[in-house]
A and B are shown apart, each in its own frame.
Chain A
Amino acid sequence: MERRKSLWSGLLGAMLLLAGTATAHPHAWIDLRVSLLFDDDGQLHALRQEWAFDPSYSQLLLEDMDAAEPGLDMDTALRMMAARMLGNLREYDYFTEIRRNERQLETAEAREGELLWRQQRLHLRFELPLEPVRPDRARPLRYRVYDPSYWIEILHDPGDVIHIEGAQGCDSRLERARPAGWLVAYAATLNRNQRAPVEDLGRAFAEQVSIQCDTSEP
């Protein structure tokens, strides 16, 4: 009895030395703000995005940064981190999928990237240049911004609108995701360290925005 007891408590102690967590996907969230930039000819030429990381994730990122580069002043550190993030995101097309006529458009390298610390949250800003295009009513432009692994959930900030800058007669429509029940349950089984074996799991949970403009030029 005693031996068993000490065995159990020894085992318990050993287990506690190895710590961790387990949460269902997603584990963090980003509030997304988008501005659609049109040029003088009424062509859409860039997507400006601002990602507001949730406060906890922001806190963890700051701690990491502080540990990696101790003693760095905030501005320099934020600049370094922005460059690193955007560098990593490059091969994921900045988590942005843009389609027209079911054809995926190429995304170029992001520009004007910066990271800001505001109201206990990190805000990543960047501009995604596009080949200029006038999305008409018949052939709207559609975009989705999502983390393919669904580790982070990216949704448009409910307190914000999609800004259309420099164009008349254009509007946008946001469509919520309608993931199937089994997918929701499936995502719930994925834990923190797991990469979803499902290609593009996050896409099923992503909002889709379509942009359309009147064909007659303003």
Chain B
Amino acid sequence: MRRLRHACPAPWAPRWAHLLLLLSLLAMPTLAAANPFGMPPSADAPELTLVDRASAWILQTQRDLHRRLTLVLHQLDEAPTVRTAAALILASFLYGIFHAAGPGHGKAIISTYLLTHRQSLARGIWLSTLSSLMQGVTAIVAVLLLIGVLGWLARDTMGQVRHLELASFLLVALLGLWLIGRALRSIWRLWHERSPPEAVPAPAYADGSGDSAGSRAAPAFSRVQHGTTPPGSGMHRLDHPETHVGDRDCGCGTPHHVDPNLRGPWYATVFAVGIRPCSGAVLVMAVSYLLGIWLAGIAAVLAMSLGTAITVSVLAILAVQARDWTRRLLRPTPLAALRYAGPLVGMLGGTVIFLVGWTLFQGTLAVEPLRHPLGL
């Protein structure tokens, strides 16, 4: 599939546009997370730009959906009809789609990861979908457990977000370190395997951790395939599970391919992002529990997560495409021949992910929990 796509570049998009898209995609997560706790640039904006207007529109739509969702939830409490239930699920779904259209650390992590580590489109979409759904499930389980079983107050439950967030941010930072470590290991291997005893062409394992599916199926393409492949791509594609067999003959001479660890970063990303409950989901879940309509709450939260999954998947598709485009763009250049390009890009991604996680962790740790004058 991948090669097919390579063979027919999108005719509507000039090359520089690809690069521009890639750059903006790369910049997006960094910008979103760069200054999460410091002062944003001051000064009043004198003119409303297109971005301002688009933001205002998104803000307005989010506001409307948030209100509709809340009002429908309480309507359902008063008059439980199928119609109201359907309206609740629709409102939640749309809210999920729109709410995810803002900045967020989960999206920053996922897009950075997909930009700097080769993944198939399907895997990118699965990554987004599963982490979004997991955020919803976390919210549901947390509320049922803490409010339902342990009898906590809804407000206390929501206040405990800090711990889950801290855990998520810390895991993100660890994920970044892990990716850096993998990249370094790849570089180390490449360095040491410059003159290996086996008579296997070096580019076949240029990706270090070995995407054996590609390299063995079509050795002739291996150079193209792996020229800029970073280490994280060592994960076997879901659609080729059988390629595990015989991985050892990829030329690395080490048994690391049987290590289940190879799928590690993918699962770790889902987990690190997913343990932070979905935006607004805990509130909806907690309030519906208080109102005694927790089944409706579960349905609403799941619909919301599905909506979020769609938005994040679109971002994932963009990231995977941008990466493919760049690879194609760089193929004729001498850059593609650089054996270390892949691991270096992977290392860059790992560094960004680490910095995002660590900054957020530190920031959250430093922030005093909020006490609102209108709270009790």
Chain A residues near B (Cβ < 8 Å): 1, 4, 8, 11-12, 15-24, 27, 29, 53-56, 59-61, 63-65, 67-68, 81, 84-85, 88-89, 91-92, 120, 147, 149, 151-153, 178-186, 188-189, 191-195, 197-198
Q: Mark B141-158, 1 if CB is under 8 A from A, else 0.
A: 111011000000111011
Task: Give chain B interface residues in 116-160, CB to chain A under 8 Å.
Answer: 138-139, 141-143, 145-146, 153-155, 157-160
Of the candidates A23, A65, A181, A183, the one whose C-beta lies within 8 Å of that of B283 is A23
Contact A179 B99 (CB under 8 A): no
Contact A55 B163 (CB under 8 A): no
Bound-state Cα–Cα, A15 to B164, Å: 6
Contact B104 A12 (CB under 8 A): no
A-side contacts of B275, CB under 8 Å: 12, 15-16
Q: Is B226 an interface residue (CB 8 A)?
A: no
Bound-state Cα–Cα, A193 to B52, Å: 26
Contact B54 A63 (CB under 8 A): no
Contact A21 B161 (CB under 8 A): yes
Of the candidates B32, B56, B260, B284, the one whose C-beta lies within 8 Å of that of A178 is B56
Of the candidates A188, A193, A195, the one whose C-beta lies within 8 Å of that of B161 is A193
A45 shortest CB reach to chain B, Å: 26
Bound-state Cα–Cα, A212 to B73, Å: 41
14 contacts between A and B (CB under 8 A): A11-B271, A19-B143, A20-B158, A20-B282, A21-B158, A56-B287, A60-B287, A64-B376, A178-B52, A180-B52, A184-B52, A189-B36, A192-B158, A192-B370
Chain B, interface size category, equals 35 or more
Bound-state Cα–Cα, A203 to B337, Å: 54
Q: Is B214 an interface residue (CB 8 A)?
A: no
Besides A60-B287, A181-B49, 4 other A-B contacts (C-beta < 8 A):
A20-B158, A55-B70, A182-B40, A189-B104
B-side contacts of A147, CB under 8 Å: 372, 374
A65 shortest CB reach to chain B, Å: 6
Contact B154 A18 (CB under 8 A): no
Of the candidates A18, A22, A191, A197, the one whose C-beta lies within 8 Å of that of B167 is A18
A152 with B40, Cβ < 8 A, contacts A15-B275, A178-B52 known: no
Contact A194 B367 (CB under 8 A): yes
B-side contacts of A12, CB under 8 Å: 271, 275
Contact A8 B271 (CB under 8 A): yes
Contact B373 A24 (CB under 8 A): no
A-side contacts of B267, CB under 8 Å: 8
Contact A181 B102 (CB under 8 A): no
Of the candidates A20, A56, A64, A189, the one whose C-beta lies within 8 Å of that of B142 is A20
Q: Is B330 an interface residue (CB 8 A)?
A: no
CB-nearest residue of chain B relative to A190?
B36
Q: Is B180 an interface residue (CB 8 A)?
A: no
Q: Mark B262-286, 1 if CB is under 8 A from A, else 0.
A: 0000010001000111011111101
A-side contacts of B239, CB under 8 Å: none
Contact A23 B280 (CB under 8 A): yes
B-side contacts of A185, CB under 8 Å: 32, 55, 102-103
B54 shortest CB reach to chain A, Å: 7
A-side contacts of B66, CB under 8 Å: 29
A151 shortest CB reach to chain B, Å: 6
Contact B138 A16 (CB under 8 A): yes
CB-nearest residue of chain A relative to B42?
A198
From A60, A64, A147, name the one whose CB has the most chain B CB atoms within 10 angstroms. Answer: A60
B60 shortest CB reach to chain A, Å: 10
Contact B78 A120 (CB under 8 A): yes
Of the candidates B157, B163, B277, B287, the one whose C-beta lies within 8 Å of that of A59 is B287
Of the candidates B45, B99, B165, B370, the one whose C-beta lies within 8 Å of that of A20 is B165
A195 with B370, Cβ < 8 A, contacts A29-B67, A184-B58, A186-B40 known: yes
CB-nearest residue of chain A relative to B267?
A8
Contact A19 B164 (CB under 8 A): yes
A19 with B277, Cβ < 8 A, contacts A55-B74, A59-B291 known: yes
Contact A192 B287 (CB under 8 A): no
Bound-state Cα–Cα, A42 to B142, Å: 57
B-side contacts of A197, CB under 8 Å: 37-39
